[in-house]
Amino acid sequence: MRFKKTRPALLVALALQQLYSPAFAQTTTNDNKNDKLIDATQLPEIKVSGQKVTDDFAASTFAGFRTPTPLRDVPQTVTVVNRALMDSQAIASLSEALRNVPGITVGGAEGGQIGNNINLRGFTARTDMYLNGMRDSGQYYRDTYYLESVEVLKGPSSMLFGRGSTGGVINQVSKRPQLGDANQITGTVDTNGGVRSTGDFNRQLSDTSAVRVAMMGQKAQTTRDVITNKDFGIAPSLRFGIGTQTEITLSAILSHNDDMVDYGIPAVNGRPVKVNRDTYYGLTDDRVLQKTAILSGLIEHKLNSDVTLRNQLQYSYYSTDAQATGLNAVGTLAGGVFTPFTTQAAGNTTALPLSALSVRLTSHDRVFKNQMLNNQTDLIAKFDTGTLKHTMIAGAALSRETFESQATARSNLPVVSLVNPAYLSTPANSVKTIGNNADSEATSVGAYINDTIELNKQWKLVGGVRWDRFKAGLTNTVSTATPPLLKADQTVSFTSVRGGVIYQPNDVQSYYASYGTSFNPSLETLTATAGTQTLEPEKSRSYEIGTKWDVLGGNLSLTSALFDIEKTNSRSQVSPGIYISNGDVRVTGFEFGAAGRITRDWQLMGGYTHLNPTIARASALENTQGKDLANTPRDMATLWTTYKLTPQWEAGGGATYMSSRFANNTNTVSAAGYTRWDGTIAYHLPKYDIRLNLLNLTNKDYIGSLIPSNGGRSVPGSGRTALITVVHRF
């Protein structure tokens, strides 16, 4: 057995789900000025057999209503991957953290979309990424060095977040300063030659203020040949007035990525081609330079013990300069002439041997910049009306975002062997041409109110409504569409609702039923497909019933849910350049999970999701009616568990299972299901930790992500890899 090359940031793909942790935790205040390093963003202390445990995979609160809320009072499925779980698995990227969440699949690079491309319950979540409750829809690769947890709120949630959120939202909760001094340095090396180092430094400045700086630098190798990434970042933050009536938090995230994009491998005869999983189809001088700057300010003021006023302002800047190459077509090469297959849409069906086939490369070059300015104001109030107890939150959101993209193209790129491609740089005779310059902007205004009403100790009602106005416009300098799309404008107003009922017969059991809606304008991503710009927004609604049980004295949480999501009047192409809003997509399913501790020394997170992702209605031209949604397996399961053999020694492991799935909505290309196993051994001392992580123990060949382009492309998952991590606290 030999260890294959793998990028550390993509090394870990394991594990579990289904409990919830402090969401939008930057909004929580601490009434105890003397609390040392205890905060809502940290894991809670729990008691097992009378002893406290703090390194738990489970967490105790989640801000399902943009304010800290007990888990049992959130009538919706929530999954959290917290810091303890990420450290246990040596996770370095957001994509790898999200592989712990059944119901989420990862997509690869898709044309100009470079960054985290995520599907949640079958629907794209590219614009449903949040950072501390604020929209973070830039196209960039997100690291985990500055994160305390990653939270996934499943199901349509426009009432809370505005446009999008068909399958749910993904919220990143960043680390923030705490009272007390604490410093940590971490170093990781792997068997692929990758090196990574992080630092986390917290210093108390006064009785009510602190500063914290997280930083990261890495050189990452990957299982795929040629690809090397060099990244670094820093995330400073200041917090004033901790535990006082008025608290202010200032933070920034600054990062630089010098990466190579992986456009994967092609399909032949409807399956990912059977070549060595290291095989790379691109050019050696490819690179993607990304710069990200996110600046945020949060102020919270307690008017009294029951009323809090909060305002958060966030500015985000994302830039990408990409020279990227990927496969364009499979075919034959004879006499220097490449002849592509005409069966690409059917998965490149052919009777020829793989050794007789070639791949044509094409460029995906562009420079784009995205800027966002968001402001969110919330009023949280607790009050009684007679015997009814209310927890109400009312808010208003304002945002402006711009997007500019300049496309270019390199010609005369090589044709390479499918089985044994030559690794070449851009040819000297390649000619660079200027393509379309897209310029777009959008403004949005939203206002909402949500109330949780406690009827008595057993029954609660939840109800909320939100109004949004979304106005967007774009211009293109070049359009090859029929008819051409050189300019588009759209103004959309939409009202979203959310409702639920919760029954809690005791402190252990909680049962709920909920309903929610969402909407997706055609210019939502500040880009448009010609023929869709005048259509009404797509509308989604969700029904969900579920249970949440806290057993073993509250140390183990068990969850289950049945759900039904339907997107109506989805866009459907009826002829070239002509779309109508008569499509229908429906995803039904169920899931369950467990998270917490069985004993003081044995903890776990695990979950299972079953989906029935059906395109219920589509045009004959699209040929997708009755088919499964792309990149949406019907069954997914994760498990991660650790056991402390002694106070110093810890061992554990887990598995990730995914059933087969399709690369496109026409279901002509499919990837086989797989189970991947991982393990860990750690040695803990008061000031040091040494951890060994073994990924893909059986060296399983599997497909990690799928992309619909070019008939359906696939990116192989990581081969067997070992990582050694050393942590020093001082």
Residue of 397 and 111 predicted with greater confidence: 397
Peptide bond into 22 cis (omega under 30): no
Q: What is the pLDDT of residues 499-548, one digit of tens each?
A: 999 999 999 999 999 999 999 999 999 988 888 988 999 999 999 999 99
**719: which 2 tokens?**
């081969």
Residue 2 has pLDDT above 90, yes or no: no
**3: which 2 tokens?**
């260890």
Q: What is the pLDDT of residues 621-648, one digit of tens each?
A: 999 999 999 999 999 999 999 999 999 9
Q: Mean pLDDT check: name the lowest of 51-55, 205-209, 367-371, 613-617.
A: 51-55
Written as one letter, the residue type at 696 is N
Can you say whether the dihedral through the CA atoms of 592, 596, 599, 604 is positive or negative? positive
- Please report where in the chains the tokens 């040091």 appear, as a residue: 688
Residue 413 has pLDDT above 70, yes or no: yes
Give CA–CA dist 671/630, Å, rounded.
11
Average confidence (pLDDT) over 126-132:
91
| Residue 432 CB neighbour total at 10 angstroms | 12
- % the chain with pLDDT above 90: 78
**28: which 2 tokens?**
């929580």
Average confidence (pLDDT) over 256-277:
93
User: What is the rounded radius of gyration, in angstroms, for the C-alpha atoms of the chain?
Assistant: 25
Residues in CB range of 233: below 8 A, 6 or more apart: 143, 145, 146, 215, 216, 217, 253, 254, 255, 256, 292
| Residue 131 CB neighbour total at 10 angstroms | 25
**Could you give all domains of the chain from N- to C-terminal order, each with its CATH number?**
8-225+228-261+284-324+364-412+423-729 (2.40.170.20)
**Mean pLDDT of the chain, nearest integer:** 89
Q: What is the dihedral of CA 261, 266, 271, 272, to 10 degrees?
A: -40
- % the chain with pLDDT above 70: 91
| Residue 75 CB neighbour total at 10 angstroms | 28
**306: which 2 tokens?**
């029951």
SS3 content of the chain, % helix, strand, coil (to 5): 5, 60, 40
How does residue 1 score in pLDDT terms, banded at 50, 70 and 90?
very low
State residue 43's pLDDT score.
28
Can you say whether the dihedral through the CA atoms of 206, 30, 185, 647 is positive or negative? positive
Give CA–CA dist 597/551, Å, rounded.
10
State residue 65's pLDDT score.
57
- How many H helices and E strands in the chain? 3, 44
Q: How many residues does the chain have?
A: 730
Residue 297 has pLDDT above 90, yes or no: yes
Residue of 1 and 158 predicted with greater confidence: 158
How does residue 33 score in pLDDT terms, banded at 50, 70 and 90?
very low
Give CA–CA dist 348/328, Å, rounded.
12
Average confidence (pLDDT) over 138-142:
90
Give CA–CA dist 58/603, Å, rounded.
9
Written as one letter, the residue type at 118 is I
Full DSSP string of 459-478: EEEEEEEEEEEEEEEEEES-
Average confidence (pLDDT) over 391-419:
96
